[in-house]
Structure 1
Amino acid sequence: MSLWKINIFRKAVSNLIVVAIGIMIILTTLIPLFIYLTSTRTDIERIIRIYEDFINLKELEKLSVETDYISSTSEMFYLRNTGSIPIKIVRSAIQDADGIHYYTLNILIDVGERIGLKQIFDQLNLPYDPAKLKYVVTARGSVYFIADQILRLTPGPQQGGNISLPSGGNPFVPQTSLFYWNFTAAIKNNKILSYYSESDDSCSTQGKAWVGRIANYDNNVLTINTTTNPSSTVTLSLKTNTKGCVSHVFKELLNLEGSYVVVIYYRIVISSLLPQLLQQNRVAVNISFYLLTTTGILLGSSVITFEWAPKSDADYLVYSGYTAIPVFQPSSGGVSGTADLIATVTLTQINGVGKYQVGIEYLAFQGVKVNPILVG
């Protein structure tokens, strides 16, 4: 082989070696980089999925503040888990005269379960004052403002002017409640007068106050029997555009001395006695409360009106709420003395026909003294 051919061969081999080395360098650089990028992309996708799952679970959390106005203790406000997953409360913010303080908590609330706000204060060894609980934080980072919800649930004046709730005492606990046993005692002492009307809203026919069960409803309520048949509960039989009503007068029930606003909490029960199979019959419900003082001053509350469509002959409506009646009058310096409470439920049949029985399950009061009712 000639010398020039040997040189060409050596040059070709060296070029191949250089190319091979270059390819190896590129491969040893790119392959780890590719593996790293692939792994990083997988990690990023996994982190995104974890974050999305976290957000989805967080959106399933729901906490709401509830009230129990018939409670005779300070255990009146509750937190209920209305979401679809368990919720763990891990932080809280409580405000006092020195500012807002942050506390660590460990409270688990299962789906549908409720806990008293007092449980939070007990775990922190703090005096119970629900209005100071600004907010709570869950383990997933959801923030629920508590004090704001309490303020919305706690009634205030419903009319204009410089009217405020009386100071002193616990503003969240009704001072006195009337349950069915108090209704019974009041009836025995002739402190409840009951009236009804089956054809209009005058409530001019006197009936007999009675405590017992109305159709379809298992709890005892205050209702009305007819005077002609003391064992027969008044039933309002209504046709389209006709009205009927029941009314109870609680004689000398309230002592208005020092009151500014009388707050009345109530639970009204209406039972339907006719099957609603052929059409969706509707009835308008009107609930009103008035105070009649011994001096003849009539103080009225805002009237509550809504519609109800019974679904079957075993259907009933339970309506709980509150109303506020301002009684402080700047021109006269306030209203004093005792007052009768008048509670009236008026039904107007919007379409079709209906038969209804009406009862009051409880009344509770705030911002006013309730004259004692002898029990026996």
Structure 2
Amino acid sequence: MKILHTADWHIGRKLNGFSLLEEQKDMFQKVLALAIKEEVDAIVIAGDLYDRSVPSVEAVSLFNEMMIEMNITSKFPVLAISGNHDSATRLDTGSPWLKTQNFHLHTKLSQAMEAVELNNIQFYLLPYFEPFHARQYFNDDSLRDIHSSMKTVIEKMKESFDPKKKQVLISHFFAAGASKSDSETPLEVGGLDSVPVDMLNEFDYVALGHLHYKDAIKNTPHVKYSGSLLKYSLSEEHQEKGIRLVDINESEVVSEFIPLTPLRDVHQLTGSFKELTSLEYYSQVNREDYVAISLTDQTVIVNAINELRQIYPRLISLERVNQVTQEKNIEKKEETLIQLKPEVLLKRYFEEVTEKELSAKQQIWLEEAIIENSLER
């Protein structure tokens, strides 16, 4: 059996204020084209279908359009689960009749215990859950962390294992030893302990979602992340995005990552204002991409962001290289700074931003403002 493993679509996500719906629709079309070309037997979506628990009308409309095209028009069986960004309750609406169309969308821990069988393979669809869900389901107050909870869940799944069939787990969690990017905050990773990889040895293949990098976990041939379909932060600039094509046969399971080219990429550009605004430079750059710019200029450029946006319309951030260094130094001295008087803090802030000292007149204004503020109190 051949399956297409994808995850972390985050439909409705924005990149520093820019909607990514157009890019998400484009990437979906490429995923669907690949599924048709490879004649896969099923498509797996391992969580985080949406970016928010209450997605926008536009996001819901796009997802519905995608699923109609994938499941109804192209007739691909779909095996999907809710992730930590999704609302399990909202996604569950309609799942009973979706099942009649071979669209299996599991959002509850209880649903994970019963396998979905396709082509002599047992698929266990385990949505994102937290320990209290396991305590409630198993009525066991001892389940206080993800480690013990997952162990109990897997033991329960094993009760229905058919030794004559292959077993595949589809889930959404942080596997031990995996690395994450800046677009996955500790809260998004669940704020929970990781799941030991050796706990997953009972399965022939584990299709994971949650972390956005395909190689977030290494040296585990049967446990794989597909990664997100798009780059959702600058920290993912050098990551390949795409899907995994998984061939499951009697003797082995082979997982191959297939990169897909996004409609617009994410780049970091570093240089002086003069360099970045020169035709010679920007004619060699895809100016339709999302760009983060670091200026090397030592002086403040008036109206820099507006002028740069005339050339780079999808400018997602602008900073000065020396400002980054200053910010890091400030963080290291945070405890010391907290103890300083307000006038000293304001004076230092002015110097760090403008790279100039306060003039005599500005010093007087500052002192008068502080005195006036203290009198008002």
TM category, shorter:
under 0.3
User: Which has the larger Rg?
Assistant: 1
Higher relative contact order (CA 8 A, sep 6+): 1
TM-score by length of 1: 0.17
Structure with the largest fraction of strand: 1
Output the TM-score relative to the length of structure 2. 0.17
